[in-house]
Chain A
Amino acid sequence: MLDDFMTRAALAGIGTGLAAAPLGCFVVWRRMAYFGDATAHAAILGVALSLAFSLPVFAGAMIVALIMATIVSTISGRGYAMDTLLGVMAHSALAFGLVGVTFIPGVRIDLMAYLFGDILSVSRGDLAVIWGGAALVIALIGWRWNALLTSTLNEGLARAAGIDPKREQLVLTLALAVVVAVAIKVVGVLLITALLIIPAATVRPFAATPERMGLMAALVAMVSAWAGLRASYEFDTPTGPTIVCVTALLFCLSTAMAGLRRAA
């Protein structure tokens, strides 16, 4: 079954969506969208370093994403103008990564594959990494779910209950780095944040509890991955962006439905 590239692509997309969507809920609730961008963009620097040192791209991307996420979350506690700083870091990391790639001798790499993903070339090995990473992220988020929610609501509430908000922030940072590394192959560094945020935003009007929002977001992400893949095959369009387009259309649909429901 895994011999078919379309099957492998579908499994890769579904696995990524499954991990990204519940994490994406926290990114939305904690207003970390730019944080996600900075982490994802830094990963291109990781790709450059991996190629230079002949490391697996997953590993390099994850390490650099982790370093970036740690730097950003350390700064975020200090009350600087966060959006400006994050904007500086997100785009600098991307630019340095793009420049860095050109210094690698002898290798002509297809940058587009890392910027926008190359889901149709997912190998069995990639699939193992993607599903392994997804399982890790889901286990991590599931294990810390209540502690994460409590410290998202209010740090004082968390501390009073014996939860260290800094440690929970670290859990999210780690999960984000894994998702970034896993999603590069699927949607590329430029569109990873879309995979985190849009499914969560799509289901928000229909969720009464955080749990339902997480589950529904995962469902939307998986459906988008599958439908985007089919559509890109049908219309011969780039797959990663097509997946994001499908998610965006679902978001529009859900917003319209929520508007109609309010009006009724």
Chain B
Amino acid sequence: MTVMSTPLVATRNLTVRYGAATVLHDVDLYVNAGEIVTIVGPNGSGKSTLLTAILGGVALAGGTIERAPDLRIGYVPQRLVLDPTLPMNVERFLSLPRRVPAAKAREALERAGVPEIGKRQMSALSGGQFQRALLARAILEEPDLLILDEATAGLDQPGAAAFYRRIEEVRSETGCGVLMISHDLHVVMSTSDRVICLNGHVCCEGTPEVVANAPDYRRLFGEGTRGALALYRHTHDHSHTHDHAQDAAE
């Protein structure tokens, strides 16, 4: 992993407003190939908005987003709500939007750790299987950058830990960069190369150890636990002002 190489994606002074509310301001962020970068932050801190902006779904009020040329992105959404009227088995889902050969689909399911679910309806999967099906689809196109938005929400702790181990394996097998949002802080601490603590802006960033000891991070996530058991309460006792809108950022 070379920090000097051209990043897969880089934002500079990224600013997003929803109406009068500034959700993100002056966010500088980059992800290199082969690197796992995790965004942590309290609810309403603009994490999901940041990912949506990187995917190109938000009008920027300021700043730039640079992507490497021909960047292939694999995306795992936080929650995919499948309307009950939409029939969709796993094999068909993997072929969206581009049809993939059956052998390749099987291989992706194996790599995601769920080789047996190809014929099943998406709606019949357990939470863990569902997220792995999403992961299988995301890695099918051999992405340069894998983006995950709280992909383990709704999984229990062993499930989440296993899921992140899978991500690490995918990273080392393919050399892709990974940008993810996570609420599982201690898992984050063990798998991430870099952690970015976000609260409308980048509060602090660095290796997990550096961030865990940073005063800003500890103000956001609590002192006594050293961040390992974070309380998702936004404490208003720190120096900078935030005028982001809780609702708008969700």
Contacts and interface: CB of A to CB of B under 8 A. Distances in A.
A5 interface: no
Given A28-B85, A210-B87, A161 B77 contact: no
Contacts of B74: 160
25 contacts: A146-B96, A146-B97, A146-B99, A150-B97, A153-B82, A153-B88, A153-B96, A154-B77, A154-B80, A155-B57, A156-B51, A156-B75, A156-B149, A158-B97, A159-B57, A160-B73, A160-B138, A161-B75, A165-B57, A201-B85, A208-B89, A209-B88, A209-B89, A211-B92, A212-B87
A150 B87 contact: no
Which of under 10, 10 to 19, 20 to 34, or 35 or more describes the interface residues of A? Answer: 20 to 34
Please indicate which of the listed interface residues A161, A200, A212 has the most CB atoms of chain B within 10 Å of its own CB: A161
A29 B83 contact: yes
B75 A150 contact: no
A208 B121 contact: yes
Interface string B60-80: 000000000000011101001
Contact of B55 (A30, A160, A208): A160
B97 to A, nearest CB: 4
A91 interface: no
A156 B86 CA distance: 18
Nearest to B143: A160
B89 A29 contact: no
Among A147, A149, A156, the most chain B Cβ lie within 10 Å of the Cβ of A156
Contact of A146 (B56, B77, B98): B98
B6 interface: no
Nearest to A206: B87
- The interface centre, meaning the residue of A207, A210, A211 with most chain B CB atoms within 10 A of its CB, is A210
Per CB-CB distance, the 3 closest pairs between chain A and chain B, nearest first, are A160-B75, A146-B97, A159-B55
Contact of A157 (B56, B75, B86, B92): B75
B117 to A, nearest CB: 14
Given A160-B55, A160-B74, A150 B96 contact: yes
